[in-house]
Amino acid sequence: MAAFFMPMNPFLISSFEKQTLSNLVTQCFGSDFPDILQKPQVDYIFNYLKDMGAVSVLLERNYVDKDYLEDFSHYYVKRFGNAGHQCARMHFFTRSVDHMLIDTILEAREGSEELTLELNDSYLGFMVIKPLPKTFIGKTCLKVMSDVDAPPVVAPMADADADNTAVESEPQVQEPGIEIGQTGQVGKRKCRLSREYAVDLFGIKLSVWSIAFQEQDKVVSACASTAIWSSLHSLKWRDVKAIHSCSEITLNAINHIDGSSNSFPNKELTNKQILRCLDVEGLRHHSEDLKKQKLSEEDFLATVTGHIDSHLPLLVMGSVSKVTYEGTLEDYDAGHAVCILGYKVDSDSVVYVHDDRLGPYARAKLVKLNRYDPDASADDWALGLQRMIEGTDQWMEPHELIVPEFLAMPTDTKARLPFFYAHYTGQKISTAFADLAGLLSSSSTEPETPVQGQAESQAVEELTYSVKLRSISEIRQEIRKHAAPAEYVDPSTGESIVVGAEALDVWKRAKIKFLTSSFARLQWEVQFFYGKVKAFRVFIDASDIPQGNAVSAIYVDNIVLSTPLLEIFAVHGSYIAERAAPVHFYQSFLSRLRDREETLEDYLDETYGPLRAPIKLKEQEFLDGQISTNPTRQVLRDPQRRRLMELHDRFAQEKVAYLIWAIAHDGALLIGEEISLLIGSELKPCGHPCITKFRPARIAGELRKVDGGWLINPKSGRYSGDYEDATRLLGNCLEKFRLYFPHDTFNLEELAPRP
């Protein structure tokens, strides 16, 4: 087909209609270009945009697309009758657009900036038209339909490339709906992956939230290549400028497999080639051969929701069959691959796929296979591709079925543990809770909690869960802002339960310990719900091995609900070793809950406060690069058989009105005189760092001489200044002094309240 050139404007604008779409492409590529409306993908895209309220279409002629340029250089450039490397690009808007409006913006007339913002607000995305008669749908980014009322969080956009190609920023996932149930169970949940694509249209800055889609090019790629290409676009850490074109993806797949052909055309990729391609992309992948290890419908849906909630796509390969008018199946010759980018769970279970034979975000309903195939069992299921009934919001019955045979999940290289270990851990904990629910009524926790009350009335709520892969930095940032509610209102009785001050203080210390502990970068988060309320989370180290002790932490979201729940597991939970290697970490979960032996460090942190480094070191305390030594420094580790003044001959001198003290990192009691050094012509005191040798220590203060004994205080701005519970810690120190010096009298010095 020869290229067709006309001396026309670089862009054409028409109203959004079926006939105008075909006419615009004809004007761009010539009259012998086929009617684009004959393609099912175009019909799908037209109905998709119509449902989104498209009003106008702008055709950008002579557009250079990075992906097609690479495909062209790999194959089409050597084709005798090639139509060149230039494409066209259609832009879609929900407002009326004409040449005068575009000219006003390009000429920067008065009000042009406001018009630019309005144009961007109405932007529905773009579709690249390649100069190929049969497979001309190139990179297509259409605005994702809203899943929730709230808009997605906006990430910063990259600047547009100089070669007028679209530039993308980090992908986002729209949050699930209001009702959250157990992964794999029915509940009001819906979300689809998308990322923000920044588009340069003649210098006009536009943007659209989507994941790139394109039609399978039967020459340089197979359906698996386009599915992999879309999946790479949806990975939030991927630099989209580095994403290979479909021809490069195909070459990466076929060039590293024995017996494969290093040539085009390419019909399809094997499962082994698909995984090899992901290897070349520098990704870790988890896969399941569903012919050998069948997944139930519930487990498949759990896998989808867990990965989509983790911002991860899924690749599904399977056999595809046409559904006839009689409701029977008619098999195709080859298999098919799609990329799953979303889900919806309500009365129906639905996944959203980029299917190169149909369109972006196509709806695939989970259906029972025996409805169409009498030889199928009651447990067999399939993905039923559906089209919307034109002019309505209703869906047709599936016109094609995909029976999944292979599942691949690309992910970060550090995510060594597959999703299934987290999923089955949540499942095991939930079923174990159901078995232990009868024991809740005997819990001794006071005051009575909603869990105990429901157990006594035989109306215990289910313990449900959801799973997602998250980075520890994201988890910490969320937990840092989280405060466990100090009051809980039982929805079943309306009774208000207040969390005790001691329980709240224990929770705060546990939260700080979580935030300051070291964890692997990637964690599987298993969020548990009691009823519809977040109760607690179990974190599983995604970099661990299946034989490891992978539960890295348990975090309490609701003190009232979680306390009796976790206590039941800790006291009554038991684990029976399984014959086969377990695919869960229930034993690791129980081990985390068991009372571990208190270490010396735990005791010292609780009794005398966590370690503090001295805030600063004064000039006189650090001379000639050395910490000044206090000659009166005493290190005491055991009770003394003498009085405090007898420790050093300076302590009993009348001119020494007070001493300084500190609790060392190992619990030793440090005591010394606050000596002074001559700096210039001025005597300057050397304080607590000179008895701790500038090492981290715990609470510290002064010992003041009084008639009949000593007064103890926590006056040490460099060690004791930021303990919230300094009064409690000082009380423990008082007992230590009384134990160490039984022949002396010690009391607390009354101090003015801290501001």
**Tell me: the pLDDT tens digits for 525-559?**
999 999 889 999 999 999 999 988 999 999 999 99
Rg (CA), the chain: 34
Question: Is residue 302 within 8 Å of 424, Cβ to Cβ?
Answer: no
Q: Please report the pLDDT score of residue 34 as a whole number.
A: 58
Amino acid letter, 419: F
Interatomic CA distance for residues 296 and 449, integer angstroms: 36
Give residue-wise pLDDT tens across range 31-40. Answer: 555 556 677 8
Full-model pTM: 0.81
Interatomic CA distance for residues 337 and 271, integer angstroms: 10
SS3 of residue 50 by DSSP: helix
Burial of residue 614, with CB atoms counted within 10 A of its CB: 0-12 exposed, 13-18 middle, 19 or more buried? buried
Q: Please report the pLDDT score of residue 224 as a whole number.
A: 86
Interatomic CA distance for residues 296 and 237, integer angstroms: 31
Report the run of H or E that residue 69 belongs to, with start and end. Answer: helix 66-74
* Helix ranges, 382-500 (H): 419-436, 450-456, 472-481
**Position 122 pLDDT exceeds 80:** yes
**Position 617 pLDDT exceeds 90:** no
Backbone angles phi, psi at 752, to 5 degrees: -65, 145
User: Torsion over CA of 113, 115, 116 and 120, rounded to 10 degrees?
Assistant: 140
Give residue-wise pLDDT tens across range 372-411. Answer: 998 899 999 999 999 988 777 789 999 999 999 999 999 9
Interatomic CA distance for residues 644 and 740, integer angstroms: 9
Q: Please report the pLDDT score of residue 419 as a whole number.
A: 96
DSSP string, 576-610: PPPSSPPSS-HHHHHHHHS-PPPPHHHHHHHHH-S
- Contacts for 108 with CB less than 8 Å, ≥ 6 apart: none
Burial of residue 116, with CB atoms counted within 10 A of its CB: 0-12 exposed, 13-18 middle, 19 or more buried? middle
**Position 190 pLDDT exceeds 50:** yes
SS3 of residue 270 by DSSP: coil
